Amino acid sequence: QLQLVESGGGLVQPGGTLRLSCVVSGFNLDRYNIGWFRQAPRKEREGVSCISVSRGSTNYADSVKGRFTISRDNAKTIVYLQMNSLKPEDTATYYCAAGASTSCLYRNAMDYWGKGTLVTVSS
């Protein structure tokens, strides 16, 4: 059974850091790209970052470049999102998703979704 489970969300002060994890099971990640998306209240879900698990190539939304880093573990079963210099506007529910398309920052290109983890950036 295909499954993606996010963890690592929480409350953090502006300027702080968090690391999100996405544990993936039930399919061969070498055939997929894994993306992190986020959705703030009353806003559409947007792509944050994605990685080709087989090649290791990465993409980032302009809003997070230089602050967020996506990576995978050597066993290729966990994808991380390291978030530094967090801002209040980063507050959202963060989702990981898997898809075969290389357009992995677009939500419509993703086939499988986790249930999300909430990140709140506030003083």
Question: Alpha-carbon distance 5 to 14, whole Å?
Answer: 26
- Point out the residues of the chain with pLDDT beneath 50: none
pLDDT at 101: 84
Q: Which residues contact 44 (CB under 8 A, 6 or more apart)?
A: none
- Tell me: the pLDDT tens digits for 79-104? 999 999 999 999 999 999 999 888 89
Query: For the chain, what's the residue count?
Result: 123
